[in-house]
């Protein structure tokens, strides 16, 4: 089965009338996702690809029962948009928005957790259950239904690795990007817990990168709690020291957060390391 979402998940698109929201709504609908309503303040009464638009989430949910919301809103309005969705009893927030102030993300994370809601992102490409549904901006054509779960800090590497697996006729159960900011709503360890319980998922791929301690925390869970095989690829092995590498989460403190330190701790946890993305399919074939 899928984690977080499935073919029955009913989704609201916040920011549906913007260029990105409009295009991605069309692509999600074409994939079969159940997009039941859109929200843009001041645009209520419109329709985008036959999806009715409302001025606020409360109105949208009152007319169309919804389980999830995907957010294409400007960074300075993201916090209010997340709070609005949670207060309307939506339990899954997929936050695509980039460049959200870190203190806003901290508030969003805490607010969602206190409300019993789940936030994915920010800066996430979303989540896809191949053959069933996608809530996000992932290019659906590179995914294939199967038994491999993928957790990635990088959107583009998520697509590349899923594509390589699909070309090797190795399908995926659920694939999602957790986001690369220093603070995110749901971390690797939490998703590993769900993959461990998921009967469809037989193997998990972690796509990490330099900075932060996501991979180190995941390694602790893998070592003590994970029964399924895990493969990892960590980007940034040749990243020069004292250089800005783009992602807000790519912060290295001393020897912590380097690609080497992450690979070392993952190896000790029993994870098989791929030296390049193209190796993952070959390693996965051995375990499936």
Which residues are annotated as catalytic? 247
Contact between 131 and 117 (Cβ < 8 Å): no
Cβ burial, residue 194 (10 Å; 0-12/13-18/19+): middle
Contact between 2 and 191 (Cβ < 8 Å): no
The tokens for 137 are: 């901006």
Contact between 131 and 186 (Cβ < 8 Å): no
Question: What does the alpha-carbon distance between residue 120 and residue 194 come to, in Å, rounded to a whole number?
Answer: 14
**Nearest by Cα to 236 from 157, 141, 142:** 157
Question: What does the alpha-carbon distance between residue 167 and residue 185 come to, in Å, rounded to a whole number?
Answer: 31
Contact between 96 and 136 (Cβ < 8 Å): yes
């Amino acid at each position: 089965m899928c984690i977080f979402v499935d073919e029955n998940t009913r989704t609201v698109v916040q920011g549906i009338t913007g260029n990105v929201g409009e295009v991605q709504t069309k692509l999600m609908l074409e994939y079969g996702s159940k997009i039941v309503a859109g929200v843009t303040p001041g645009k209520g009464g419109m329709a985008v690809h036959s999806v009715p638009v409302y001025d606020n989430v409360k109105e949208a949910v009152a007319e169309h029962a919804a389980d999830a919301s995907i957010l294409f809103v400007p960074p300075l309005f993201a916090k209010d948009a997340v709070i609005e969705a949670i207060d309307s009893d939506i339990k899954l927030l997929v936050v695509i928005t980039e460049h959200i102030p870190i203190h806003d993300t901290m508030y969003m994370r805490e607010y969602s957790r206190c409300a019993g809601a789940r936030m994915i992102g920010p800066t996430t490409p979303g989540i896809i259950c191949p053959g069933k549904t996608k809530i996000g901006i992932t290019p659906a054509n590179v995914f294939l239904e199967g038994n491999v779960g993928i957790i990635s800090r990088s959107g583009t590497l998520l697509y590349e690795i899923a594509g390589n697996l699909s070309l090797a006729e190795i399908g995926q159960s659920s694939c999602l990007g957790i986001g690369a900011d220093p603070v995110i709503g749901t971390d690797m360890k939490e998703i590993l817990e769900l993959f461990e319980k998921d009967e469809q998922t037989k193997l998990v791929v972690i796509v990490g990168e330099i900075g932060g301690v996501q991979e180190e925390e995941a390694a602790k869970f893998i070592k003590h709690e994970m029964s399924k095989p895990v493969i990892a690829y960590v980007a940034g092995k040749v990243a020069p020291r004292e250089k800005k590498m783009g992602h807000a989460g790519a912060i290295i403190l001393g020897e912590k957060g380097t690609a080497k330190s992450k690979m070392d701790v993952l190896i000790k946890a029993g994870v098989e390391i791929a030296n390049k993305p193209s190796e993952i399919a070959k390693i996965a074939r051995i375990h499936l």
